[in-house]
Structure formats: structure tokens, C-alpha cells
Chain A
């Protein structure tokens, strides 16, 4: 057996915070071989970034390796002198970071940056280095590599930036280890899929070992041969990917896999209660025990060892034998835990509080007709000063949202989905078209709107960090809408606020807390409570879970579903994540470049015919199942957003491009057999036939 490229032995990394050393990574061992892709999965706070930094030798000044060894190609890497490290960095050890824009130097062209690296290690001439840079850009499949080499980072799209970074990381012919730190997290799904393809393809040629760090279980399933699951700084389970996904032995892994929404799977998500313990609060027993449904006394008292269950399958749990034998069923254990939680929630009181009122009885809660929204409208002065021309972010969108139902609006970044929601609620002006909420026109800024209109529509924002005022207690935040919109007295509002908290499963003593004392998931619960405070008929949910960890995300999605059932509120759920939308939505609409391209019921949505864009979206989602065979439909990179394509807006990227008709004529809406609508020149039967054909 050949020796591993990277061997980490019993590594403990700690940070010094206010005079105390706190372990962020504890006793991690793993080894990565040549041509192997090793996945590190973990939620935020799991220590995966710290691990990456330790491997790269980039630990911050207050961090230090307290114990253990890292060998890189058999060489002691931790104690390597600076000079030696500089020889290895960029030559034999490279990294692709999460945020491409901040990793590139804005003052140098892409070509210069890659050439600089090549020259440093390969001692080539300026000209040869440039040629090598262009060659690398070509290898990462950037169209027009010569042109890209001449451009500055801000002049190319996010996907192209990431490609350029990959080119840089692979530029050295001696590359032995490639560290990928969430390389696709900041990208759209279609771009992500293309980048993952690229990795898979390049892996075959460069034969280097790869350490792939991510929180996305779908990405791991696609990319990695072996996975280590990290939780609170410790490896919980370490196994070949196929084994891990089919017969995980650790409760955390099992729950995590059940917490991911999957398309077409209506089963309730398995939320994991609680949150990752902070560095200061690491339990002395098993780190997962406080959140584990199957925890017994031993788990709290004693840290389980990392045991070898089968050859190549390591697990850190006291009860793995019972799990392996099937005598311990986690699903049942956690259902019991959940029942206990529900009783505490005393939902009945909450219902009683708000049962009196009905927000109109119509089936249609919100109706939007031909809504257009423009950004950057110039005044006369602006025009004279040469401001940029306005950009139409939403162009002719019509939709209906039914009472108590969820309409999922799916689109990638820049598609206009958030702008549309913001125009409904008055945070940006509607240029033309009409929108009505329960027959009340939606017009003007919130200030100009009637109380009843404001009351009937609320919004949940994407970033929980920003949606609560850090200077106001949770109580102050929740009381305001109750007093302003529902006209309660202070005392009534106080009581109702406590009930709201209870309804979102938070204890009432949170009323006196400040947002900084809450976790991201808890903040989002408070934001949900605030949205429900006014008893709206419609809530706009703008990416409500996209900034949350998988386990927390599941809990929030379940909460939204449960509250909807109780209060018959309608949701307009905006998300880039089709799996999230498919979990909650009754109806789904897809938006591309400001226009709807497909709409229909959630059941029929996942059956052909699809709009070609939807088809590409569906084919791009990394499924949390290593055996899943994906249809490979990849889109070319998007054009800059200020150029609006003629005819069908999707035609420059469309894999089913017909010809001139797509370029010149806007496609009509077509109705398929299941009652869904899509906007394409290809008739439904033909399209369905194309899409059900097995891949040749």
C-alpha cells in the first residue's frame, strides 16, 4: 500500500480566547491518498474551517496545534520551517476557498495572478508563464481563455472566478494535495453543478489527493469516496461514502441525513433539537449527547472512543452496536422527544388567542397581474449626470396565492424573485401592473398603506442576523406589531408576545434577551413569530432557511408547515433551493431573469414536461445519495445581467435551443397534460418525450 499524501494524527487545535485555550478540533485523525477525494462534512461550528487552516498552516495568531501531527508526503508539516512551506504552498499544496472574489487580487488581471504563481515555482519566463496561465484557464473550460486572462476579477462572473481559482490551484504540475473549502457554496445550483463536473473530470487527470470540506451532504455524495462527519470538533463517523449514506451508525449522521429535504419526498423532516455547543460549553461526555434522542447516562458521563465498526468504518458512539443490529430505532426515539416538546408548546392557548378573527374568506389571498419592477430609475438630474440606465428586475409577472397554501417561487440569484416580493410589500415601487391583497390594492410605500393592508401581509427575511434589531430585546421586537397593527394594550401585547414565543418553541424568558444571545435558528424563530404577530393572511418568506445549518433548517421548515396548518396562512416561499420548495409548496413557479417560465402544482412539477431551464435546475441539484444517477444537463455561464436576450430570455443558455424562433420570438405559455404551464416554443408532448428519453 502506498503511503498517504496527507496524514493527520490525533490532531487537536485550540484557540486562545481571553486567556483560556479552547479546543476547536479535537483528536482528529485521517489520511488522504493520492487520487482520493476525502470529504469533511460538518455544520457551522463543527471545526471544519479550523481543520482546513491547520492543514494549510494558516491558523490565526491566537490558534495553535496543541497535540498531534500532520504529515504531508511523509514530511513533518507542522514543524516545517517557513521557507519549506513557501516552497510547498502553491506548488504541491493548493487550496480553493469559499468566496472567490475575496481570494482574488482585485488589482491584478486573472492571467497575471496565475502567471505569478507559475513563475514562482516553475521559474519560467514571463511569456511561458502567461502561456501556461492561458492553458490552465482553458483546462478549466473557461470560454475565451485569452480574454479572461486579460480581465480583472470583478469583470467576470462568480462561476468564472471560481474556475479561475481552480486553474490557479491546479497550475502547478507537481500538485499533490488540493484542499477545497466549500468551493461551491456561494454559487448558484446550475453553476455549482458545472464546477463539480469540472472537479470530477480534473481529478482523473491530476491524480492529486483532495480534501473536500463542505456542509452540503449532496455535494459529498457526488464527489467523495470517503467521508468524515465532524461535529463540535470531533469526528463522529468516518466511512466510505456509500456505506455512510446507506448504513450510517452514528445517530448524528443518521439524523443529519434525514434532515435534508429531498425532492418528491413529503415525509416530515427530521429536525435535530438544540444547537452545536459553543467552544466554551463542550460537554465532557459525548459532544452530541445533549441533542441525541438515544443518549443514555453513559453518553453524558463518558466520551465514547472512535471505534472500528467494520474495516474502514469508524464511529464514535456508545450505542453503535445497537444501531447496527437494528435494535435501537432512532426515528422512534426522536418522535418521542418531539411529542414531549409539543406538549410544552401549549399550542392550544395560542390558537385561542387568535381564533376570533378571519382574514377574509376568499380563496385567493394575493393576486399579481403583469407586475414590472425597475431598479435605479433616474430622475432628470440623474440622466444629466450620466447615471446607469435603469434595470428591469421583474418583467411582467402574474400569479395568484391561495388561502392557506404555499406558492414556491424558485430562481437563481439575480432572477428577480426577491425583488418581486419586495415590490408586493412596498419596499420597492411597482413600475406597472397591479397587485391586490384580499381585494386591497398594493400600492406605495408601507407608510402610505392602510393598517389593514399592512396587517394582512408580513415578511420573513433571509438573514436572521439582520432581521432583528440588535439594540432591542425580543420582547420589544415582538410587542411592536401587536400594539401597532393589532391595537393591543401593552399588557395584552406582553402576554401575546410570550404566547408567540411559545408557539415557535422558545421559552418565554427569551422576551428579555437581546438577539446576540440567540443562535441563528432561534433568531429566525423570533422573526417568524413577529411575522405571525399581526395574524397576516399572507407571509412572504424570503429564503427563510438558506443561511441556516441543515439540522436547524429542518426544524424551521417543520415549524412553518405546522403554523400554516394551524392558522391557514398563505406563504409566498422564495428560495433558490428546489428541495426546500418542494417540501413546503403546494404550487411552484420558476422565475428566470424577471419572467416566470413555468408554474404548476407541486405534484406535477417534478414530472416532465419541464421548461428546459427547470430541467437544468433539477438536473443540477446534488442529491444526498451516492448511488443516484444524475441526468447531466449543464448550462453555460450566464451573460451579464444588463443584457436582456431577445425572444426567449433563456435561449443563449438553453440546452434545447431550436433555432431562430427562440431568438426572435417570445415563447407562448403552453399547458401540459397535468395542468402545469410553461413558457417555451416546444409543445408539451414533444418536450415530455425529449425529457423522458433515457440518456444515450
Chain B
């Protein structure tokens, strides 16, 4: 009796350190309260798996033209049909998903990492450094994201790397702001003062005492950033930016399919659906993460 009561009280926010039983309990509760969030998370995992192992499953080369099989409707051989060059749409979506995960995933990770470090430092140190950094962040946030990306693409050249740089530049200030707000709250707590009195180094205070409190919020913010990044990359692809034809890219596929949608709507449907489903799944997952944190805090 005593032992179980103890377990229930175990420090909540460290999902990593939770017992399996408790983790299971939280997940079950999530499934019960918000089944859609769980489905979203499963969807993201599905897309990720598809991106990882999909290329080994599909027999078609995503860029191989086959003029004899142009604009085929979905069939057993081509579950999503073929486009106007006779390329297999499913393969193109799988490879495109791979590209999009690689690009937005790495960009989000870099942005979240940089934002975390900057947010921790400026939040904790405060003063004029904080003022300067946050005003700079305000200035960056004032620019429309698509416009900034276009300018960068013009200046640095139309490449995937430029898109990555653009996403990082766009999202670092947002993440910094979120991290900083948590730090401002945590740094007034007596345990941080106790660490200062205890002669702890700044590094220890920032990364061992304060950072754990930031991570939950950061996880939610990271998931949200990820979904926005996917959206941005798809928009750019639609404009033909950041990708080189004939590389498979969801946004580009949608854009190319516009001319054919009356004749063979599936060419437009499947890449559009891929974008929508993935973005919705990631958003649902972010919502689920947020709920999990609320549960564990409320416990």
C-alpha cells in the first residue's frame, strides 16, 4: 500500500525517469481523454517509419520516367497512381517525406538547441544583454516568415541548405522567447539561490538546475515548430524554391499537379493529403505532449 502510494507521488515531470508502469498509466489516460492525440503521435511515427524504411519497400525509382504509364489512376501496381511523367506517386511521396523529415527535423533540432542555450543565458543573466537579445528577437519576429526566406534564398542561393538556415533564423527567436519565460520564473526560486550560495558554477546552475524545468515546455514548443517547418518547406516547394527538379518534394508535386487535376485528380490529391495529414498529426502530437505534462504536473 505504502509502496504504491509512493510511486504515484514520484516526481512527475521527468518522463524519462518515470517507471514503466507510471508511463503506461499516463499514456492510457491520454488515450482515454484525447484519443486523437495518441492517433496523431502514432501517425507521426508511421510517417517516420515510412521515411526510414519505405525506400526499401518500393520497387520504383521516384525520378524514373515511364512515358507509357502516364497519369495512371491508383491501381495495385501503383497504389497512388502515376503522374504525368509516369513516375510512381507513392514512391515520390515516400522519398519526399524522407527529404522533408531530414530538412525540417534537422532545422528544428538546431533551432531548438540554439534557442535553448540562448534562452537559458539571457534569461538567467538578464540585464542589458537580455534587453539587446530580446529586442533583436522582436525585430526578427516582425518579419513575415515567407518574405524572410525568399530574401535569404535570393542572397544565399536557392538550395536546401538555405532553407535550413532560414528555418533556424526564423525559429531561434521564438524558442528563445519561450525558454526565457520559463527561466525567468525558475530563477527566482529559492533552490537557485541555494545553488548560488553553494558556490556553483554558472554552467551547473544553467544546465543542471534550471534546464530540467525548461525541457517539458521545450518539447511541446519543438513539436509545434516542427509542424510549422513542414508547412513552410511545403509552401516553398510549391513555389519551386529550395528544391531542384526532378527531386520528389511534396510542395513541388502539388504545384506540378495543378495543370492536371481536372484530368487526373489523384496527382493533386495524394501529395496534398500527405502534407495535411502529417501537419495535423504533428500538431495533435504536440497537443498530446502538452496534456501529458499537465497530467504529471497535476498529479
Contacts and interface: CB of A to CB of B under 8 A. Distances in A.
Interface of A: 278, 280-281, 425-427, 445-447, 449, 451, 454-455, 457-459, 461-463, 466-472, 477, 480-481, 484-485, 514-517, 527, 530, 534
Contact of B10 (A427, A467, A514, A534): A514
B11 to A, nearest CB: 3
A457 B199 CA distance: 11
B190 interface: yes
B188 to A, nearest CB: 9
A530 B194 CA distance: 9
B299 to A, nearest CB: 9
Contacts of B9: 516-517
A461 B189 CA distance: 10
State the 4 A-B residue pairs at the shortest beta-carbon distance, nearest first: A514-B11, A471-B212, A461-B190, A467-B190
23 contacts: A278-B5, A281-B1, A281-B2, A427-B196, A427-B197, A445-B196, A446-B199, A457-B197, A459-B193, A459-B194, A459-B197, A462-B190, A467-B191, A469-B195, A469-B209, A470-B213, A471-B212, A481-B198, A484-B198, A485-B199, A514-B11, A515-B11, A517-B10
B199 A471 contact: no
A454 B14 CA distance: 31
B206 to A, nearest CB: 13
A280 B8 CA distance: 11
A497 to B, nearest CB: 13
Given A516-B12, A527-B194, 18 more contacts: A426-B197, A427-B193, A445-B196, A459-B194, A463-B190, A467-B191, A469-B189, A471-B14, A471-B213, A472-B212, A477-B191, A484-B198, A484-B200, A514-B11, A515-B11, A516-B9, A516-B11, A517-B9
Nearest to A480: B198
B6 A517 contact: yes
B135 interface: no
B13 A425 contact: no
A454 B201 CA distance: 13
A6 B212 CA distance: 51
A466 B202 contact: no
Nearest to A534: B198
Interface string B91-115: 0000000000000000000000000
Contacts of A426: 196-197
Contacts of A462: 190
B199 A484 contact: yes
Contacts of A446: 196-197, 199
A486 to B, nearest CB: 10
Interface of B is mostly: helix
B149 to A, nearest CB: 35
Contact of B193 (A461, A515, A517): A461
Contacts of B12: 516
Contacts of A468: 191
Nearest to B127: A379
Interface string B10-27: 111110000000000000
Contacts of A463: 190
A454 to B, nearest CB: 4
Contacts of A470: 11, 13, 213
A455 B200 CA distance: 12
A446 B205 CA distance: 13
Interface string B213-252: 1000000000000000000000000000000000000000
B11 A517 contact: yes
Given A467-B190, A514-B11, A447 B202 contact: yes
Nearest to A468: B191
Given A461-B190, A471-B13, A514-B11, A280 B5 contact: yes
A534 B212 CA distance: 25
Contacts of A517: 6, 9-11
Nearest to B131: A381
B190 A466 contact: yes
Contacts of A461: 190, 193-194
Contacts of B6: 517
A469 B198 contact: no
Given A427-B196, A484-B199, A516 B10 contact: yes
A515 B11 CA distance: 8
Interface string B47-86: 0000000000000000000000000000000000000000
A582 B192 CA distance: 31
Nearest to A278: B5
**Of A278, A451, A455, A516, which is in contact with the most chain B CB atoms at under 10 Å from its CB?**
A516
Contacts of A278: 5
B198 A454 contact: yes
Contacts of A451: 199
Contacts of B10: 514, 516-517
B197 A425 contact: yes
A281 B1 CA distance: 8
A420 to B, nearest CB: 15
A480 B190 contact: no
A534 B195 CA distance: 12
B113 to A, nearest CB: 19
B1 to A, nearest CB: 7
Contacts of A484: 198-200
Contacts of A459: 193-194, 197
A518 B191 CA distance: 16
B197 A454 contact: yes
A74 B174 CA distance: 62
A470 to B, nearest CB: 6
Contacts of A281: 1-2, 5
A466 B208 CA distance: 16
A480 B1 contact: no
Nearest to B29: A18
A666 B1 CA distance: 64
A693 B139 CA distance: 72
Nearest to A467: B190
A471 B182 CA distance: 14
B212 to A, nearest CB: 4
B190 A472 contact: no
B191 A469 contact: yes
A468 B2 CA distance: 23
Contacts of B14: 471, 514
Contact of B198 (A427, A445, A485, A516): A485
A572 to B, nearest CB: 14
A481 B212 CA distance: 20
A629 B80 CA distance: 92
A457 B196 CA distance: 12
A454 B13 CA distance: 32
A480 B200 contact: yes
A467 B194 contact: yes
Contacts of B209: 469, 472
Which residue, of B10, B13, B194, B208, has the highest number of chain A Cβ atoms within 10 A? B194
B120 to A, nearest CB: 14
Nearest to A476: B208
A469 B14 CA distance: 13
A16 to B, nearest CB: 15
Contacts of A449: 199
A634 B261 CA distance: 86
B190 A471 contact: no
A481 B202 CA distance: 15
B2 A447 contact: no
B3 to A, nearest CB: 11
A468 B190 CA distance: 7
B187 to A, nearest CB: 12
Contacts of A485: 198-199
A517 B4 CA distance: 12
Nearest to A530: B194
Nearest to A449: B199
A457 to B, nearest CB: 8
B10 to A, nearest CB: 7
Contacts of B213: 470-471
Contacts of A466: 189-191
A241 to B, nearest CB: 37
Nearest to A446: B196
